[in-house]
Amino acid sequence: MALLAALALAPSAQAQDAFQPFKQLEGTPKMPKLNAFTAPSARKVPALRDVTLEAKLTADGTSLQTGLNWRVFSPSPGPDGKLQLVASSEGGEAHLQLAPGDYFVNVAFGRAGITKRLSVPENGDVKKLSFVLDAGGLVLNAVAGTDQRIQANKLKFSIYSAEVREDGERALVMANVKPNTIIRLNTGTYHIVSEYGDINASVRADLQVEAGKLTEATLQHKAAQITLKLVSQHGGEAVADTAWSVLTAGGDVVSESVSAFTTMVLAEGEYTAVARNKDKIYQREFTVQSGKNADIEVSMKEQQASVVGQD
C-alpha cells in the first residue's frame, strides 16, 4: 500500500514536461508601421446668405408689394429631368436664405412673368435683385347695341396671342375671363374674343397692353336676348312640352331645346322659330335687332304660314 501511494504521488515525466515554463522567443516580431490616427474633419457647409428680390412693372416704377409669386430653382435638373424647386414666396418683395451658388428665379404677376439667373456669393454683399416685368393690366367688358348692358353671367372672354401660328391658330393665353376682372399681362398686342351667350353672338378685337398701365376696353355686340314661347292666343301662357328649333335665314339650325319657353342670345339677323307640340308644327319668322331684347310669340291659331304639318 505504501508503494502504491508513492507511485500515485510521483508525477510522470510527461507531466513534468507539460508544466515546464514557456520559453521566451528571442527578439521582438516586427509589426507594420502605423501612421498616427486622425479623425476625418466634417465637411464645411457654407453659411446661408440673405437674399432679397423685388419686382417692378417698369424700370422707373415702384416695387410691387402684392400679387407676386416667386419660385427659385436649382440650375441642375433632377432625376425627372426637371429643375428642382428650392424656395418660394408670395406677396411683395421676397426675403430668402440661400446657400452660395447659382439659381434660376422666376417671378409671376398674374399672367405676366420673367425668369433671371441669380448667383449667390460665399462672401461679400448680396445685392438686391430687381426684376422689371414690363407688364400692364387689362379689364374687359361688353355691351349689346350702343349701350345695352349685358349680364355678367352671359358674357365671357378669351385672350389669345396676336401672332397666328403655321397651323392658322393663335396660342390661347387665358380662357373664360369674366368681365370687370383685372388681368395682368406682359406688354404686347393680344387678340380678344368676346362671347355673349353660347350660340352665335361673338366679337373680336386686337388690344394693346402697355407697361405700367391699366387698359379698359368695352367691346360692342350686335346681338340681343330673345325669348320664344308657343301660345294659344296673343298674350297667353306658354304651352308646355314644346320642342324648339331656331334656324338662320339660310336654313342652318343654331339652337334646339325642349321647354314651355326658351331664352337665348342671337346675333342680329333674320331667323325662323319652329315649335313642335303634340305632333303639330308651328313656325314664325322674326328679326333680331342689335341691343333690343324681345319676347317672340308663336301663335297656335294664326294661319298666315305660321302653322305647318297640321293634321
Burial 221-237 (b: 16+ CB within 10 A, else e): bbbbbbebbbbeeeeee
For the full predicted model, state whether its pTM sits above 0.85.
no
3-state secondary structure 144-161: ECCCEECCHHHEEEEEEE
Q: 49-132 has which CATH code?
A: 2.60.40.1120
Domains 49-132 and 224-308 fall in the same CATH topology: yes
Q: How far apart, in whole angstroms, are the C-alpha atoms of residue 40 and residue 46? A: 18
Span 20-79, pLDDT tens digits: 443 444 444 454 454 555 555 556 667 899 999 999 999 999 999 999 999 999 998 888
Q: And the C-alpha cell for 74?
A: 436649382
Mean per-residue pLDDT, 277-306: 84
**If you average pLDDT over residues 7-31, what whole number do you get?**
44
Grid coordinates of 216: 379698359
Helix (H, G, I), strand (E, B) or coil at 97: strand
Residue 213 pLDDT exceeds 70: yes
For 244, how many CA atoms within 13 A lie in the half-sphere containing its CB?
27
Residue 19 main-chain phi, psi, to 5 deg: -100, 10
Q: Residue 240 above 60 pLDDT?
A: yes
Please report, rounded to a whole number, the percentage of residues in the chain having pLDDT higher than 70: 82
Q: What's the whole-number mean pLDDT along residues 252-266? A: 94
- The CATH superfamily of 224-308 is Carboxypeptidase-like, regulatory domain (2.60.40.1120)
Chain centroid to CA 292: how far?
37
What ranges do the domains of the chain cover?
49-132, 135-221, 224-308
Over range 14-18, report the average pLDDT.
43
**Segment 266-277 mean pLDDT:** 96
* Residue pair 289/222 in contact by the 8 Å Cβ criterion: no
**Which architecture, in CATH terms, is 135-221?**
Sandwich (2.60)
Question: How high is the pLDDT of residue 44?
Answer: 66
